[in-house]
Amino acid sequence: MKKIGFIGLGIMGKPMSKNLLKAGYELIVYDLNESSINELVQAGAEAGTSPKDVASKSEVIITMLPNSPHVKEVVLGTNGVVEGAKKGSIVIDMSSIAPLVSREVGSKLEEKGIRFMDAPVSGGEPKAIDGTLSIMVGAKEADFEECLPILKAMGASVVLCGDVGAGNVTKLANQIIVAVNIAAMSEALVLATKAGVEPERVYQAIRGGLAGSAVLDAKAPLVMDRKFDPGFRIDLHIKDLNNVLETGHGVGVPLPLSASVMEMMQALKVDGHGEKDHGSLVLFYEKLANIIVQK
């Protein structure tokens, strides 16, 4: 089995790395948060001292970081992965970042003889814990096949979407659909509540029809129970929608629905809800209608 380096032990990275340990992989980990490193060491991982150190001791290096600048710094910066990785090793960036940055990072690594894949995920913390994430991959087919067992230790669905960058284009498409779904669900449940119909009954009535979706089943019960602890924070979805709009404008695609939901999320952030789950989009509609959706 390949020795894996894992850099970035946040809400998603920590459970993903634990699933690699459960699958029997030897793991060396690094994060700016020492308590996260210690938790993984207790679970059986080795502690690294820097991205360079992790890369020098690994055949496959996985990064799971907040955004494009963090990936560039960790992979290409001082004491970065590029300084420690051996020729022929593979970097798998599982962060959700701008596709053009994925291609830039991949190109810089290729100059050093280091292979690269972008493999962003969908499913949030619950599926990261269960090891049932959806993983969208941009890579050469041979690299994809080589790393497929590693990815399957973290995800239930692993799909090769195209060359480097295609994974993050697919993730942006995913984030548009999730954001607009949550907004539509919120709008509908606020309408039902204000019109005097119990939202739980509305949810049960529509979930088996055309309006039913994984988003509806994941978020409607949490909204009605007033549970807004982050599986995926508003702040992170804002980051993804920024990448959506930037990419769309760069390739000449107007994105009116994405822009609308982005502004709703910006309003929630101003109201102090940026750390809450993206299901808290319902708070935007509740404020407009002066009503609360609950069981």
Mind listing the pLDDT tens digit for each residue in 159-199? Answer: 999 999 999 999 999 999 999 999 999 999 999 999 999 99
Residue 123 has what pLDDT? 87
Where does the pLDDT of residue 95 fall: very low under 50, low under 70, confident under 90, or very high at 90 and above?
very high
Residue 1 has pLDDT above 80, yes or no: no
- Establish whether 171 is a catalytic residue: yes
92-103 mean pLDDT: 95
Indicate if 169-289 has the same CATH topology as 3-163.
no
Homologous superfamily assigned to 169-289: N-(1-d-carboxylethyl)-l-norvaline Dehydrogenase; domain 2 (1.10.1040.10)
Residue 232 has what pLDDT? 87
Q: What residues does each domain of the chain span? A: 3-163, 169-289
The mean of the pLDDT values for the chain is: 97
**Residue among 52, 171, 239, 276 flagged as catalytic:** 171
133: amino acid identity, one letter = L
Correct CATH for 3-163 of 3.40.50.720, 3.40.640.10, 3.40.630.30, 3.20.20.30: 3.40.50.720
Exposure string over 93-111, b if 16+ CB within 10 A, otherwise e: bbbbbbbbbbbbbbeebee
Q: Among the residues of the chain, which ranges form H helices?
A: 13-22, 34-42, 51-56, 68-76, 81-84, 99-111, 124-130, 141-152, 166-194, 199-206, 214-224, 234-251, 256-270, 281-289
Mind listing the pLDDT tens digit for each residue in 208-232? Answer: 999 999 999 999 999 999 999 988 8
Where does the pLDDT of residue 124 fall: very low under 50, low under 70, confident under 90, or very high at 90 and above?
confident
Residue 231 has what pLDDT? 80
Residue 106 has what pLDDT? 98
Q: Is 228 helix (H, G, I), strand (E, B) or coil?
A: coil
Percent of all residues in the chain with a pLDDT value above 70, rounded to a whole number: 100
Residue 230 has what pLDDT? 87
Cα separation, 269 vs 272, in Å, equals 5
Which of 44-48, 78-82, 84-88, 120-124 shows the lowest mean pLDDT across its residues?
A: 120-124
Residue 171 has what pLDDT? 95
Residue 213 has what pLDDT? 96
Q: Which of 27, 30, 41 is nearest to 7 (CA)?
A: 30
Residue 8 has pLDDT above 80, yes or no: yes
Q: Is 93 helix (H, G, I), strand (E, B) or coil?
A: strand
